[in-house]
Structure 1
């Protein structure tokens, strides 16, 4: 009897250990982030469905308001706008720019929109929403290897691709009016996504204004409102945040800064609540607009621009 009891205890211990290293069917053994900090976001894997066959409209066909927010991508000579009200329901668009694969990602909980080159080691990766979160941020997964990828870390945290990095493509989180003014030839993602969603409804009402966050994060800092929008910049592995409340203090159309020995020009547009950073040759540097709490959770060592 004693031997049977010992065997059962050992069996259940092994089962618990296996379950602790598996969530929503993803193998987390050897993950580069603490497994206990990987949270269940609620929906199952692909419960938030990615858009894998996006359709686009011309400017003349678009039916959204000038002040509606979009995530804009200009790549390989093509401009496309992805309305935030669509991204709120899908979070991932697997797309192509002149035949080159690009994945457009958006995490409503972190306010973070990032586009990545989806060709890794010469092979296209298609991404889905895992239903898991790390530091309140979406964990993507690629369908080819089922590896998990952290959006704001820009790298795979588990699976066959663990440790591989994603290459960012410059994006603009701005208004539709501002984007089409700068890119009159732009295309815009159609609401004909193949899914029955009411895109006029915000599934996160009041969230961007509230100081509350839905999921625990590793690090917090109260220097700014948790949902203060910041531009997050990375150069040579070092990070800096440019809070909008600081940028708004300037009366100049461009603000000069130096970070990691690089001269930078920050262009902040208060009307569209958007910003971009250029190097001293005028090239746009890929950055990420996101909430202060999210940027700090991932990069607590970050420098902060103060006017």
Structure 2
């Protein structure tokens, strides 16, 4: 026997055995790299490495699936200056206190003849309403514990697809590429909402099934600090990162109205986005703003921190008061 050939063969066998063993170890690691919080990211429309764990696990922030509502009779803990996310439709109005949304982020609402998805991302300041019906199928949503560009990634219980809240689209899973229809909502002070709607409306009850101090925010002074807890793909120093803005997109054009600029403008602002005439109504008390079309109908604009609007809309037009 050729001893050199025999020894060479043993060396190659050892190397092949080592490589095969390494591959066996790497396969589950690679597989795990495509999963976060149990969600399959293999088909993600965004880079999986930009999907970050926010800290709590899936459903660690519990969405409200069976909300209770009450008449605003004064027994609620809310004070005149507390902020509400409000929805009007079908001859009724409902208020969702930000104090509750800070802790739950998602409320699945079943009304008499329709459903409503209320979402709130405390890190981006974005309260957005959606119609949860996609391709004729009603979906319910939970909090994935994952973030994209510091924004809440929701997931639907039916397919476990992940949904970008600000974009309103599924970014992974069986429904990747599908979009949710936006539903207009307002940001109003408790006092102003009650003055506007009277006692016939309904407010989300603090009896959520969970023990939380809804008078206290778990985010401290985050809304005033320049600090972001998580990285984003694009940043702009034109405004303080937490400057409140109102943004809207139409016909491929995005525009944003920073509240400090709106504060310089007197009265209702007339503007255009994507060729469509709109009016902006600014409320410095909240602060908040509403966007309406030429017929006065409320449009589904987004109230957000400046950094959040910009990272998703880097080509946005910016209103600046003369």
1:218 aligns with 2:242: no
Give the gaps of 5 or more residues in structure 1. Answer: none
Counterpart-to-counterpart distance in 2, 1:55 and 1:301: 41
**Structure 1 residue matching 2:73: 3-state secondary structure:** helix
* Cα-to-partner distance string for 1:93-122 (whole Å, 9 max, x where unaligned): 000233311110000000000010011111
2:187–2:286 contact (8 Å) kept in structure 1:
no
Alignment correspondent of 2:62: 49
Aligned residues of 1:178 and 1:272 also touching (Cα < 8 A): no
- The size of the alignment, in residue pairs, is 306
Residue in structure 2 matching 1:28, options 38, 41, 45: 41
- Following TM superposition, by how much is the alpha carbon of 1:64 offset from its aligned partner in structure 2, in angstroms? 1.1
Q: Distance in 2 between matches of 1:229 and 1:82?
A: 20
Q: Which runs of 5+ in 2 are unaligned?
A: 1-13
SS in 1 for 2:257: strand
Q: For the residues of structure 1 that align with 2:144 and 2:280, how far apart are their CA atoms?
A: 35
Q: CA RMSD in A?
A: 1.1
1:230 alignment partner in structure 2: 245
**Higher mean C-alpha deviation, range 8-17 or range 256-265:** 8-17
Q: How many Å apart are 1:66 and its aligned residue?
A: 1.1
Q: Which residue of 1 aligns with 2:53?
A: 40
Q: Is residue 76–residue 97 contact of structure 1 (8 Å, CA) maintained in 2?
A: no
Of the candidates 83, 86, 98, which is equivalent to residue 97 of structure 2? 83
Offset at residue 287 of structure 1 (A): 0.8
TM-score (norm 2): 0.93
Q: Structure 1 residue 78: deviation in Å?
A: 2.0
* CA-CA distance at 1:236 after TM superposition: 1.5
Report 1:198-217 matches (<5 A): 198-217=213-232
Distance in 1, Cα, partners of 2:117 & 2:299:
18
Residue aligning to 2:262:
247
Once the two structures are superposed, residues 190-231 of structure 1 have per-residue CA deviations (whole angstroms, 9 ceiling, x without a partner) of 100000111122100100000001000000000001000111
C-alpha deviation, 1:290, in angstroms: 0.6
Conservation of the 8 A alpha-carbon contact between 2:81 and 2:191: yes
Per mean C-alpha deviation after superposition, the further-off stretch among 12-21 and 122-131 is 12-21
Q: 2:134 maps to which residue?
A: 120
Aligned residue among 88, 109, 114 for 1:100:
114
SS in 2 for 1:183: helix
Larger radius of gyration: 2
